[in-house]
Amino acid sequence: MFQAARTTATQQIALERNLDHHGHRCIEIGQFQIRTWYSAPYPEEYAILPKLYLCEFCLKYMKSVEALERHQTKCDMDGHPPGTEIYRCGRLRVWEVDGNTAKIYCQNLCLLAKLFLDHKTLYYDVEPFRFYVLTLHDVHGSHLVGYFSKEKDSVLNYNVSCILTLPHMQRKGYGRFLIDFSYLLTRVEKKTGSPEKPLSVLGELSYQSYWRYRILDVLSESDVNEISADDISLKTGITQIDVINILKEMNMVQEHDQRHVLVVDPKILRLHVEKKKKFFGKQQHTHLILDEANLKFIPPAQRIDWH
């Protein structure tokens, strides 16, 4: 009885102080209350609060549910991110948002991302970036799932600066979709690219899994005696260095007479083809398999600037 009473009292106190049931800091966004993982540099009067209320469309942060409700009656977003829709398939949409033209939205997005990222430092200087925002659409609007940011001019050839799936949507394949999407844009730009380092533990897991899958995919559809790391890089958009590192990790590179030779175990390729079938079967109805035909994207370098 004591334990039960103590749990109830703890929950009551937590609720009164707007913490979640376990006493952790959290945010409320759309239908979801999400426990945060790290702190973010919100202005101090907000940063000290145990709970922030976010408008799910413009990402404005507020101190109370009343403030959020007042805001919702006058929010000037049209139920979607403030950018151009560049991809649509089923309920999935991807929006390109320019850090220059939607500065406040992009700053709010970076602050939100920082709550789930330990090491990234971009929050206010958003102009040099574009943001690719993934949403799920329903009658109420396009609800934020995740995003990645990308430098407009990356000297180091990065094609993703920061990537996030909101925690309540993680482990469902959206991170993989965003990574796949980032490489699709890179291929359309006729480039290869790599994510900004360092990667987080979750970033490393997701990228490693994606790289292996894509490389095995190309190998399983090619004559492995003819293909080079450069060919794989051009077909996938993954940099040659990343391709070689992954091939080495999969023990597929051997040295013969001071030359690097690709050695592929057919069993690994067979296993991959089986895994791919299962993956397609699982994801077909979710539209998480990227359909390039649905992309409406002109590489920024080819756009005509009328201003």
Q: Is 172 in the site for ligand ACO (CB under 6 A)?
A: yes
Smallest distance from ligand ACO to CB 268, Å: 15
283 interface partner picked from ligand ACO, Zn ion, none, CB below 5 to 8 A per type: none
199 contacts ligand ACO (rule: CB under 6 A): yes
Q: Does 55 bind Zn ion (CB under 5 A)?
A: yes
195 in contact with ligand ACO (CB under 6 A): yes
Q: How far apart are the first and last CA of the chain?
A: 71
DSSP 3-state assignment of 120? coil
* Chain position whose Cβ is nearest to ligand ACO: 175
Under 8 Å between Cβ of 24 and 10: no
- d(CA 30, CA 96) in angstroms, rounded, equals 21
Question: Residue 307 has which token pair?
Answer: 């201003």
Asked if residue 200 binds ligand ACO (CB under 6 A), the reply is yes
Least distance to ligand ACO from the beta carbon of 138, Å?
19
The yes or no reply on residue 75 touching Zn ion (CB under 5 A) is yes
Residues with a known catalytic role = 196
Cβ–Cβ under 8 Å, residues 194 and 240: no
Q: Which parts of 213-232 interact with ligand ACO (CB under 6 A)?
A: none
Tokens of 99: 């850090």
- Nearest one of 212, 203, 209, 163 to 185, comparing CA atoms: 163
Name the pairing type of β-strands 51-54 and 26-29: parallel
For ligand ACO, the binding residues (CB under 6 A) are 116-117, 160, 162-165, 170-176, 195-196, 199-200, 202-203, 205-206, 209
